[in-house]
Structure 1
Amino acid sequence: MSDFNTTLNQALTEDEESFLRRLDDEPGLFEQLGNTFQGKLKFWTAYAFVMSFVIFIAAIYCFWQLLNAETTRGLILWATGTWCLLLSVGLTKIWFWMRMNHIAMLREIKRIELYLAKNDPV
């Protein structure tokens, strides 16, 4: 066994193996979303999740004010507010998709790492 494989075997702990066994099945969309609320970034994820709802409610309010605006200046300001807030919601959702993709990539890297550790390549 090479030095790399020895080091890799020592690096793999029982926690990592149980983590990999839990991730053997491909998770569905909602399970992947739930997985984003675990780990070191769980508080940031929860914060972003709540803020996306708050920003969406603010966008609805701005849109309602846009429909009731009586001046051109009011129309422009409320339309700009609506556009910026909806853009913020979209960017937050993109961040969630990137986080889900990051976790999926980590799962695949861990699978490869475990495969290499278990099957000694030449």
Structure 2
Amino acid sequence: MSDFNTTLNQALTEDEESFLRRLDDEPGLFEQMGNAFQGKLRFWTVYLFVMSFTLFGAAIYCFWQLFNAETTRELILWATGVWCLFLAVGLSKIWFWMRMNHLAMLREIKRVELYLAKNGSV
């Protein structure tokens, strides 16, 4: 075995191998969403998930107020609020999907790492 393979085998700890065994099956959408709420970024994921619902509620409120506006100025302000809040909701959802994509890429990289460690070469 080469020095690279020896170093790679030493780098794989038992925790990583158990993590990889858990990832052998391709998870479904809801399982991937659940996995996004684990790990070091779980606080930010939960925070952003809650904030997206809050922002959505605020956007609906602004949209409702848009119909009750009496002046053109109020109409423009409420419409700007709707636009900005829906944009914020969309950006938070994009972050969440990027987090899920990050975890899927990590899973694939770990699979390749384990394959190389076990077989020695491609």
TM-score range, shorter chain: over 0.9
Stretches of 4+ aligned residues off by more than 3 angstroms? none
Q: Does 1:43 align with 2:43?
A: yes
What TM-score comes out, normalization by structure 1 length?
0.98
Q: Which amino acid aligns with 2:93?
A: K
Deviation, structure 1 residue 10: 0.4
Alignment partner, residue 22 of structure 1: 22
Deviation, structure 1 residue 121: 1.8
Taking only aligned residues, the RMSD between alpha carbons, in angstroms, comes to: 0.9
CA separation in 2, counterparts of 1:17 and 1:64?
A: 53
Deviation, structure 1 residue 31: 0.7
Deviation, structure 1 residue 36: 0.6
SS at match of 2:85: helix
CA separation in 1, counterparts of 2:50 and 2:69?
A: 29
Alignment partner, residue 80 of structure 1: 80
CA separation in 2, counterparts of 1:27 and 1:68?
A: 46
Deviation, structure 1 residue 104: 0.2
Deviation, structure 1 residue 70: 1.1
Instruction: List runs of 5+ in structure 1 lacking aligned partners.
Output: none
Q: Does 1:58 align with 2:58?
A: yes
Measured against aligned partners, the alpha-carbon deviations of 1:26-83 in whole angstroms (never above 9, x if no partner) come to 1111111111111110001110011001111000100000011111111100000000
Deviation, structure 1 residue 9: 0.3
SS at match of 1:48: helix
CA separation in 2, counterparts of 1:20 and 1:67?
A: 53
Alignment partner, residue 31 of structure 1: 31
Give identity over the alignment, percent: 85
Deviation, structure 1 residue 119: 0.1
Deviation, structure 1 residue 85: 0.1
Alignment partner, residue 97 of structure 1: 97
User: How many residue pairs were aligned?
Assistant: 122
Q: Which amino acid aligns with 2:50?
A: V
